[in-house]
Amino acid sequence: MKNSGIKTEILRIKKGIAPVVYGEVKSKKNSSKTLLFYNHYDVQPAEPFNLWHDAPFSGKIKGNKIFGRGSSDDKGELITRIKAVEAFLKTTGGVPCNVKFVIEGEEETGSAYIEKYLKKYKKKFSCDGVIWEFGYVDSKNRPIVGLGMKGLLFVELSKKESNQDAHSSLAVIIKNPAWRLIDAVKTLRDSKGHILIKDWYKEVKPFTKRDLKLIDAEPFDESSFKKEFGIKNFVNGKKGLEVKKALAGNPTCNIAGFVSGYTEQGAKTVLPSEALAKLDFRLVPKMVPKKQVLRLKKHLKSKGFGDIKIKIYHGEAAARTDPSHPIVSIVKKSADQAYGKSILNVSNAGTGPMYSFSNILHVPCISIGSTYMFARIHSPNEFARIDFLKKTTRCICLILDKFGKP
């Protein structure tokens, strides 16, 4: 950032907490408008190493692709923002509007402290709009302009029965905690994907007509999606509009991991002493994570599973930007110009701390970026596409230019 002419600072709130890298460039034109770029410098772990074709941090370039952990998520995205600012500074000597960078280091683990940073540095981070840390580009080279993110509740359920694993012949008299946990988890959701916890959907509002129109207009190539993942059909046999509505607005209850007993190769007749399930629930606007936790706890108790231990890892609310906000058309037009065509997306199916930004800074957040939708982010052989990095850099330049205009 320094090399690009951006004034930088390291911000800290507490020892042991990853610092935020802050950057700023003031417009010489005395523009009253400020655009803030939110990104992150941390990455997902690179494991399993043996599935990588090249070392995970090699940055190996093959044709149009740069391979490496973080190449798309989020270093590729960040570099498009930095280079756009650099391009303005080098060619015009200034930027069309004030620019701020907030680059955190704990996004991949749930942005546990971003809210504290936002509260402490509220004045420093004040702005008129936030460009989110990523944006997908679909299989037909159309960038997706995202107006929202789902929330997330991540919990761990566990059951310990005995103080040691036992010979499985004893399964006639010692209870198996894996069965117990399976029974408990089974009460959370029906086979169609509907969550059975009382009042889970209580605050959820149906889509507005405008949202539905936008969702309907969003292209989604079902067959190429299925092909990419090697699957035959979707949850509950969803098709067409139902698929798109679900991605934008359905809460989920997902088993992220289930561990118990012997899971290595071959047989081992063992009766495990404990079982553990990691679950993530995607939340939609108006769902309050704390309230949902209480509902989950109440549910397990009422179903007779008060013995299941619950550990809460992370909770964050969903956020959405109003499609009629002026910044939306600025970003959409810039994306259309840079890529030829772009898509407006009511809400991403994933989660980020967007709610903290929109709630504390009181500004719209909008996502646009360079991440190819099948760029294997979070998986081995993650890559960034060089053509998209270039186009997105141009797109960010156009956004800065339009945003700075009075």
Residues within the interface to Zn ion (CB under 5 A): 73
Contact (Cβ atoms closer than 8 angstroms) between residue 87 and residue 338: no
* Nearest-approach distance from CB 299 to Zn ion, in angstroms: 30
What CA–CA distance (Å, rounded) separates 152 from 278?
13
Contact (Cβ atoms closer than 8 angstroms) between residue 108 and residue 43: yes
Query: Looking at beta carbons only, is 108 or 183 nearer to Zn ion?
Result: 108
Query: Looking at beta carbons only, is 41 or 234 nearer to Zn ion?
Result: 41
Query: Looking at beta carbons only, is 73 or 104 nearer to Zn ion?
Result: 73
DSSP string, 278-303: EEEEEE-TT--HHHHHHHHHHHHHHT
**Residue whose Cβ sits closest to Zn ion:** 73
What CA–CA distance (Å, rounded) separates 376 from 368?
18
Query: Looking at beta carbons only, is 107 or 274 nearer to Zn ion?
Result: 107
* Nearest-approach distance from CB 88 to Zn ion, in angstroms: 28
- How many other CB atoms are found less than 10 A from the CB of residue 239? 10
* Burial class (CB within 10 angstroms; exposed 0-12, middle 13-18, buried 19+) of 91: exposed
Query: Looking at beta carbons only, is 41 or 207 nearer to Zn ion?
Result: 41
User: Quick check: bond before 48 cis, omega within 30?
Assistant: yes
Query: Looking at beta carbons only, is 73 or 128 nearer to Zn ion?
Result: 73
* Nearest-approach distance from CB 104 to Zn ion, in angstroms: 12
* Nearest-approach distance from CB 145 to Zn ion, in angstroms: 19
* Nearest-approach distance from CB 377 to Zn ion, in angstroms: 6
* Nearest-approach distance from CB 233 to Zn ion, in angstroms: 27
b vs e for 4-26, b when ≥16 Cβ sit within 10 Å of the residue's Cβ?
A: bbbeeeebeeeeeebbbbbbbbe
Angle in degrees, CA 236, 239, 240, rounded to 5 = 150
Torsion sign across C-alpha atoms 299, 304, 306, 311: negative
Query: Looking at beta carbons only, is 73 or 77 nearer to Zn ion?
Result: 73
* Nearest-approach distance from CB 70 to Zn ion, in angstroms: 9
